[in-house]
Chain A
């Protein structure tokens, strides 16, 4: 009840006192709230101590977040306008997939919202890092992070020119994706061609099991399994797929490093690069 009153009061305040919560132009925000798993992680990497007041509940989930330990020290939000409002942020960080109704409501409450697009390539990741630095007033830290990222990337992306081994991403429901997706970029950076590109699924889509088998990939990258049973996952245990992966290397996607466009993708690239080197060394 008290929370509801708070919301009503806030709505009124928002209507009566526009600009009340707006920070002064040059001043960096002091109470930043992030409501998206990916902005959570970039903000935790770049924010000044005490600047970030809340992250999304997903940031504490070790199966999805690469920074669950760090997030455990922060209060979480569930992306609901009411709870976000009551945390009194002076800046909200949201992703392109955040609920539009929530964003609209927050904007009506005169809370500044910064939306970050989904990163599907290195340029997108670099742009989001730079932008996070700008909105948090932490440009220098963002520059340093970018320099480190570029150096690490250059060290990992060392695939020799010429024909490359072919990898296939295969996730629940037979979903696969190619070069227009973040996962496809990781595969590409690690020095693999992607059969999803050969089969016309650059942005992702369903890959029939028989098409996968006949494409004969050198490396199979499987989606992670969730607890409990789902038919969508059953196909990862299909005898035909088992027969394909027999005597052939397979990697399993580890979600925290693959989901968000942060420097953590380089861990995924490094893992696949090792698989590529092992393939080369195998007889």
Chain B
């Protein structure tokens, strides 16, 4: 097995192990054997209910949301040829959250369950289009980050406004969830409403890999080797919106995963954007699963938000990247 094969085997094993650990982590403190037996056992006893209706959806969502964030980060960075591009930083997640909050507060999601991810997708798509427009096709670093900050701030403020105006006294607490993300007390329903969108996103972004590879030689070279840039951009917008819309609708905004994971894995895949896409998906899944296990260990019963952990690790990393980018004179 070559080095790449080893990498993918190792990442897959890590994801599988963390998925299992996520299933076995919870406040109830039940033995691992008993828990897993309850998961596969039929019947309606309470332990089986806990495993099937609480822990399993949580682990599945951790896997899916992480893979979506990692993959979205890798594709955005490849397409824009900018190591600072990430759905959280360029405002995609915040806009998706705004779409989801609007769907919930207007009652759209209650009338029609797919309304929630659809609205999140619409928010995400709008923000990606806006960023591409503002930052230009080449995605200059400064313009990209500034556009992202502006869109994030606007979407965040609008989300807070909508929740502030809700007649429900508890709605205001939700601002934290939409800005920091959490997988606590999700159910299989959330898996079912998010999964189709994420699968669509994977399906749209996966075939972009050869084009991302060609783009490393520059747009002209890519175009002369048969890459249709307009179509590529359309697929990017739709694919990122589907991934981030689906993920944010059920888990809120989890930042920095799409930034850190592709960067950590870039050297291991030999700096190939094509190979980075699946590697970042696996790495993202491992990161979110690990973060979700950590929040349950660190503060049991307090619903510590996922985004708190990812930002604590990711933000210093972001600063490091900025310094590095400056040194390289980009």
In the assembled complex, 22 residue pairs joining A and B whose CB atoms fall closer than 8 Å, in A order, are A173-B170, A205-B301, A206-B302, A206-B303, A208-B26, A208-B301, A213-B54, A214-B28, A214-B47, A216-B46, A228-B105, A228-B168, A229-B104, A229-B107, A229-B166, A230-B173, A230-B174, A231-B177, A240-B49, A240-B50, A240-B53, A243-B49
What are the 4 A-B residue pairs with the smallest beta carbon separation, nearest first? A232-B170, A228-B168, A230-B170, A240-B53
Bound together, the chains give a CA A240 to CA B259 distance in angstroms of 35
Check if A261 is an interface residue, CB within 8 A of chain B.
Answer: no
CA distance A211 to B47 in the complex (A): 10
Contacts A206-B303, A214-B47, A227-B168 given; 9 further ones with Cβ under 8 A? A172-B170, A206-B301, A213-B54, A229-B171, A230-B168, A231-B170, A231-B173, A232-B170, A240-B50
Q: Are B53 and A230 in contact (CB under 8 A)?
A: no
Residues of chain B from 8 to 27 with CB closer than 8 A to chain A in the complex: 26-27
- The total of Cβ contacts below 8 Å across the A-B interface reads 91
Contacts of A230 in B (CB 8 A): 166, 168-171, 173-174
Q: Does B272 contact A (CB under 8 A)?
A: no
For window 23-49 of B, CB contacts with A under 8 Å fall at 26-28, 30, 44, 46-47, 49
Q: Which of A173, A216, A226 contacts B173 (CB 8 A)?
A: A173
Secondary structure at the A interface, as helix, strand, loop or mixed, is helix
- Residue of chain A at shortest CB distance from B47: A214
- Is A174 in contact with chain B by the CB < 8 A criterion? yes
**Chain A residues in the interface with B (C-beta under 8 A):** 172-174, 205-211, 213-214, 216, 226-235, 238-240, 243-244
- Given the known interface contacts A208-B27, A211-B27, A213-B50, the answer about A228 and B171 at a Cβ–Cβ threshold of 8 Å is yes
For B252, the closest partner residue in chain A by CB is: A231
**Which residues of the other chain, B, contact A206 by a CB distance below 8 angstroms?**
301-303
Residue interface bits B104-124, CB-to-A below 8 A is 1, else 0: 110100100000000000000
Q: Which residues of A contact B300 (CB under 8 A)?
A: 208
Contact A209-B46, Cβ < 8 Å, known A227-B167, A228-B167:
no
- Shortest distance from the beta carbon of B45 to any chain A beta carbon, whole Å: 10
Q: Across the interface, which residues of B come within 8 angstroms of A205, CB to CB? A: 301
CB of A209 within 8 A of CB of B185, answer yes
Bound CA span A206–B110, Å: 26
Complex: chain A residue closest to B53, CB-CB:
A240
A205 CB to closest chain B CB (Å) equals 7
Q: How far is the CA of A227 from the CA of B107 in the complex (A)?
A: 12
B168 & A235 in contact (Cβ 8 Å cutoff) = no
Query: B44 touching A209 by the CB < 8 A rule?
Result: no
Give every chain B residue within 8 A of A229 (Cβ-Cβ): 104-105, 107, 110, 166, 168, 171
Most buried by B among A174, A213, A229: A229
Cβ contact within 8 Å between B54 and A240: yes
Compute how far the CA of A228 lies from the CA of B106 in the bound complex, rounded to whole angstroms: 9
- Verify A209–B54 contact, CB threshold 8 A: yes
What residues of A have a CB within 8 angstroms of the CB of B187 in the complex?
238-240
User: Would you call B26 and A210 a contact (CB within 8 A)?
Assistant: yes
Docked complex Cα distance between A40 and B26 (Å):
44
| Residues of chain B contacted by A233 (CB below 8 angstroms) | 168, 170
Q: Which residues of A have CB within 8 Å of B322? A: none
Q: How far is the CB of B252 from chain A (nearest CB, A)?
A: 9
Q: Is B189 an interface residue (CB 8 A)?
A: yes
The answer to whether B53 and A211 have CB atoms under 8 Å apart is no
A96 to B17, CA, bound (A): 51
User: How far does the alpha carbon of A173 sit from the alpha carbon of B172 in the complex, in Å?
Assistant: 12
